[in-house]
Amino acid sequence: MIRIEHLSKIYQTKTQVDALKDISLHVQPGDIYGIIGMSGAGKSTLLRCISFLEQPTSGSIFLDGTDMSSVSPRQLQEIRKEMGVIFQGYNLLMQKTIRKNIAFPLELNKTPKADIDKRVDELLRIVGLSDKADFYPAQLSGGQRQRVAIARALATNPKVLLCDEPTSALDPLTTRSILELLRDINRNLGVTIIVITHELGVVRSLCQKVAVIDQGSIVEQGLTAQVMDAPQNDITKLLISTAGGR
């Protein structure tokens, strides 16, 4: 589904920042793949590269076998629809109702109005917010706003959902319900999910596979259960010990 090969990203500021170094990763259809690391490890940069918001300095990303560096800007626009992204802080349009927020990507797509209404109703049902359609984001809790962001990201029926720290601003109970929703979306809609997080609990309860990233490099990857049971790298051990034991 997504194959990353030898991906590097260098930011040229006053000094050179090697944000990603020789990253290789293979996400298969149906995976829920966690990418975990400390702050500054390179997680968000990796997510921006995977979602084509940022150009890698070198290396390749293949989506369903297509080398993304070889496609035209027009093709890239089409392929982007295969990917839904939920960002930290939700990025909702505060002046628009929940219905309008979810409809937004469909309007951009020039989807007929009747189809938009039907799809938005369906999405509201999936995320459990049918009764909030005419509310504004400011009238919702953090967890509900995240549900709106998830519905909006799913609007165009993407194959992949990329989630940047989806629960970092939420309390434990709300976190649990959002993780449950993501699990249902993966299981019932067959959407492949990539989750960027610094929270080990998220990886443990949601992701079958995990990659641990430190200072721009993947230091460990594999099945979550195996990595958690027998961590090889000091950063993984640190993440486990600071999360309250294994």
Binding stretches for ligand ADP (CB under 6 A): 11, 13, 17, 19, 37, 39-45
Taking the least distance from each CB to ligand ADP, the nearer of 41 and 140 is 41
Taking the least distance from each CB to ligand ADP, the nearer of 17 and 243 is 17
Contact yes or no for 55/31 (Cβ under 8 A): no
Taking the least distance from each CB to ligand ADP, the nearer of 45 and 192 is 45
Among 94, 120, 123, smallest CA distance to 107 is for: 120
Min dist. Cβ of residue 40 to ligand ADP (A): 5
Place of tokens 């149906």: 30
Tell me which DSSP letter residue 15 carries.
S
Tell me which DSSP letter residue 71 carries.
S
Place of tokens 């989506």: 63
Min dist. Cβ of residue 11 to ligand ADP (A): 3
Min dist. Cβ of residue 155 to ligand ADP (A): 26
In the β-sheet with 83-86, what is the strand arrangement from edge to edge? 83-86, 160-164, 192-197, 32-36, 209-214, 217-223
Taking the least distance from each CB to ligand ADP, the nearer of 103 and 210 is 210
Mutual orientation of helices 113-126 and 142-154 as an angle, nearest 10°?
130
Taking the least distance from each CB to ligand ADP, the nearer of 17 and 240 is 17
- Tally Cβ neighbours within 10 Å of residue 85: 21
Min dist. Cβ of residue 23 to ligand ADP (A): 12
Taking the least distance from each CB to ligand ADP, the nearer of 9 and 147 is 9
Tell me which DSSP letter residue 208 carries.
S
Min dist. Cβ of residue 219 to ligand ADP (A): 13
Min dist. Cβ of residue 209 to ligand ADP (A): 18
Taking the least distance from each CB to ligand ADP, the nearer of 34 and 42 is 42
Contact yes or no for 142/108 (Cβ under 8 A): no
Helix (H, G, I), strand (E, B) or coil at 152: helix
Min dist. Cβ of residue 13 to ligand ADP (A): 5
Q: How far is CA 195 from CA 79, 89, 104, 124, 206, in A?
A: 20, 15, 23, 22, 9
